[in-house]
Structure 1
């Protein structure tokens, strides 16, 4: 998504309507576009007051991010307008500040600097090194060095404690540091935005940032990339089933409570791994779907319990694309050199591979739920 903000032509290709996916047009498949209010063990309650009962459920809602990284658009037109407006704001700015040096913040700062090399780009992070997670110091240093080489100013060990928009008082936006997170003070609908952070923008023009050391920074365009949020929609009797890292699941992708063997969660919505990866999310979906098929064929979750497939633990890995000129990759404990990593770098950032893996342009080949699914690459 970061490259879509700096290169709208690429960003437009990220919107893939369900009605263009051949196999989703099957008469036994129904697609409903709606906002979920909450989920019980028997039905899904929609925001409009309607509900949908189920025998089996897969929760695959991902995680929420504030716009413009998170997408709140409901139509292609809305999506393309958001891209154009964000790109115009970036293009008009002389200085750009990205707050948060996780993977998203790193790639966004690099993309902005590459597309607009004459802009002053700054990356601010509260920790002493970029990138959280189980990754080596060497990887973090390599990423920081690449950013500096590109011309990005990297400010480490300084938390943003206040943000103030310094133009147009009637639209004044202030943020305050609370419990390690930035809270946005002009939210018109806190309850809805808690479920849908995509509806609230984390970007602002012409802002003044105050750091923990008292230093003040001015920026023409500022965006906060402070991590993702889980969606608090499960209303089950199980305490602690949903935490800050997602829904707790077993290896079968069933939620971790024996009272709800018919409810599954997969992908970024669940807490199955320390690092949220697209390939792992797709594999989770294979496992969850195949286990539900087993349950249906065997007469229910209890009858199929001993035959359910377990999702393996995958090594933590990350591939960071720092513009088109640099990349950094680690798989497990092994740091790959850039030449080796480049075999996994594509001009479209792997979009075509994802489209093919999800059979978005073809009809998938039917297999038995008792065969093994493909492993993520």
Structure 2
């Protein structure tokens, strides 16, 4: 049940290096199809719900958070991207949703929509001139990137290289689902090389790349895309004791920091930055954000009413083990509740539609499809 609204509307500050929200699930299509480039990126001023006096948006990057003093040091950037200054921001509640750091082109590196549109457009122009593409990493990101490129450009040679004996080797999914995903990718024309670790990628003749494999063989390609599962969480600004050995934030089911952190009840983390044995999914991240928001509202209302005890808080259920993938013109899904596996174009159409599930993400956020 939704919490009662606070009597006084709290001031909300969004700190982000980008000028808007980006639907990362749409990256494979946005980086292969020019007509889709601008759809996944929604600038802050395109979101009517943020146009309120109580909402402030700061373009910048967090430098250091001090849970004990509840103070954040951040680096702001002007619109020209040249001038940067350090500032401090005092807060009552902190929600960390900074995500993972991945290399281009698996995610944008631009900080403005206009800059991103130009960068993605140039990348597609470059991709169109390539005869061969090698994608390194057989996780969800690598599978979807390789399959989408082959789907959009069927005459190109697309190779997916993975170091393990099965795709999705880092995910808690059954062997049969891994096999079905492999079959769908291969039927779509992707050349999949398993048990092949990439040792190095160097420049070859002309614009070609030389890929050296652990077994001593070499591949050549016009374009190489790194999509390994070693993406790091953006958490350098948090105290080390708040993180696990890989840099992910340890959280309670309420999405609050672990009890060992000062003022942990006022600190929340959501999305890809949290430590979890489950699969990191956009829909789960949205539910985490909703859980954190509800709990903050509960705590504010409780404080307004003078309750000395912390209210009962909403909690996330156990780690997610279901997974759905877009594999070019097809799709694959594993239902963790029933154990059922589904594959085929109808899976893609039913789950993701024709916009890489952008309509689903916006709907879950309560945002219209068209700004």
If the length of structure 1 is used for normalisation, what is the TM-score? 0.81
**Counterparts in 2 of 1:318-337, with a 5 A limit?**
318-324=323-329, 326-332=330-336, 334-337=339-342
> How much has 1:298 moved relative to structure 2?
1.5
Structure 1: 5+ residue stretches without partners? 169-204, 363-377
Change in 2 beyond 3 A, CA 1:306/1:108: same
Change in 2 beyond 3 A, CA 1:127/1:101: same
* Corresponding position of 1:284: 288
* Corresponding position of 2:71: 43
Cα RMSD (Å) of the superposition? 2.1
Name the CA distance, whole Å, in 2 between partners of 1:341 and 1:120: 25
**Counterparts in 2 of 1:1-377, with a 5 A limit?**
1-41=27-67, 42-47=70-75, 48-131=85-168, 132-167=170-205, 206-227=208-229, 228-236=231-239, 239=241, 241-244=243-246, 246-258=248-260, 259=262, 260-299=264-303, 303-313=308-318, 315-324=320-329, 326-332=330-336, 334-338=339-343, 341-342=347-348, 343-361=350-368
Name the CA distance, whole Å, in 2 between partners of 1:308 and 1:25: 28
Q: Is the 8 A contact 1:253 1:264 kept in 2?
A: yes
Name the CA distance, whole Å, in 2 between partners of 1:240 and 1:264: 11
Q: Is the 8 A contact 2:130 2:156 kept in 1?
A: yes
> How much has 1:96 moved relative to structure 2?
0.5
Deviations 1:167-189 (A, max 9, x none): 57xxxxxxxxxxxxxxxxxxxxx
Aligned residues: 324
Q: Is the 8 A contact 2:276 2:319 kept in 1?
A: no
> How much has 1:245 moved relative to structure 2?
6.3
Bigger drift between 258-267 and 283-292 goes to 258-267
If the length of structure 2 is used for normalisation, what is the TM-score? 0.82
> How much has 1:272 moved relative to structure 2?
3.8
> How much has 1:242 moved relative to structure 2?
3.8
Q: Is the 8 A contact 2:32 2:149 kept in 1?
A: yes
SS of the counterpart of 2:149?
helix
Name the CA distance, whole Å, in 1 between partners of 2:43 and 2:309: 35
Bigger drift between 43-52 and 156-165 goes to 43-52
> How much has 1:283 moved relative to structure 2?
0.9
Deviations 1:197-218 (A, max 9, x none): xxxxxxxx52101000111111
> How much has 1:11 moved relative to structure 2?
2.3
Name the CA distance, whole Å, in 1 between partners of 2:92 and 2:159: 50
Name the CA distance, whole Å, in 2 between partners of 1:304 and 1:295: 10
SS of the counterpart of 2:173?
coil
SS of the counterpart of 2:210?
strand
Change in 2 beyond 3 A, CA 1:85/1:304: farther
Name the CA distance, whole Å, in 2 between partners of 1:59 and 1:107: 27
Bigger drift between 297-306 and 282-291 goes to 297-306
Q: Is the 8 A contact 2:279 2:320 kept in 1?
A: no
SS of the counterpart of 1:79?
helix
Q: Is the 8 A contact 1:139 1:335 kept in 2?
A: no
Change in 2 beyond 3 A, CA 1:345/1:15: closer
* Corresponding position of 1:187: none
Name the CA distance, whole Å, in 1 between partners of 2:134 and 2:248: 29
Q: Which portions of structure 1, spanning 4 or more consecutive aligned residues, are displaced by more than 3 angstroms?
A: 300-304, 339-342
SS of the counterpart of 2:57?
coil
Q: Is the 8 A contact 2:299 2:311 kept in 1?
A: no
Change in 2 beyond 3 A, CA 1:153/1:43: same
Deviations 1:21-40 (A, max 9, x none): 11100001001111222222
Change in 2 beyond 3 A, CA 1:242/1:54: farther
Name the CA distance, whole Å, in 1 between partners of 2:113 and 2:235: 27
